[in-house]
Amino acid sequence: MRQVIKGTEPASFTDWKAAANEDWQPTYDTLQNPEKRELHLSLLQEQHFACCYCGQEIDLDSSHIEHFRPQEDFEHLALAYENLHASCLRETKPGNPSHCGHRKGNWFDEELHIPPVQAGCEQRFRYLLTGEIQASGNNDLAATTMIGVLALDIAYLNNRREELLQGFFDDDFLLEAEEQDLLKTIMAFRTVDDARESPFSHVIARYAEQLLGP
């Protein structure tokens, strides 16, 4: 899970919704380009082109607009910017593992769902050098549930995280790293100076936090 800090919705999206009248009401199904594309791009930019759930790199062609609270049960939030994110997998293909937004589908449980905008949501998960993801707390049922619902523990994601973690936290680093080194690592991977952040950068930062201890 990766924290998302929401920004301001694009003016074109705001204006499109404001055009509602007695004869026409805006719905997500009627949202078309250029407004939909500009909305999608705005979501990508505020997420630094990383999936709101797994943190892998995404762009317009490899992602979709995700409703955190599904339209099926929260129709009144279908066009609410704070409910919209960009999730990986623009479309699913037969034989490919489904994860993140497509895997979640219309599932929702207010008690068990951890929103990407929740402060501290990343700290509710921990990573192993094997790339595996776990709930940080033994009794955090919501974190365990989210891992399963989003399929964040599939081999594809585990393997990508393992490669990055073991490439950064090699034996030399683990033997020689001091507290200041870990703090610098956290700062470096949580600070995005350009438009795009490194894939799974939150995982590197989180593992460094784990090494620092509670």
What CA–CA distance (Å, rounded) separates 197 from 205?
Answer: 12
pTM above 0.75, yes or no: yes
Q: Which helix (H) or strand (E) holds 63?
A: strand 63-67
Each residue's pLDDT, cut to its tens digit, for the chain (214 residues) gives 889 999 999 999 999 999 999 999 999 999 999 999 999 999 999 999 999 999 999 999 999 999 999 999 999 999 999 999 999 988 777 777 899 999 999 999 999 999 999 999 999 999 999 999 999 999 999 999 999 999 999 999 999 999 999 999 999 999 999 999 999 999 999 887 667 888 999 999 999 999 998 7
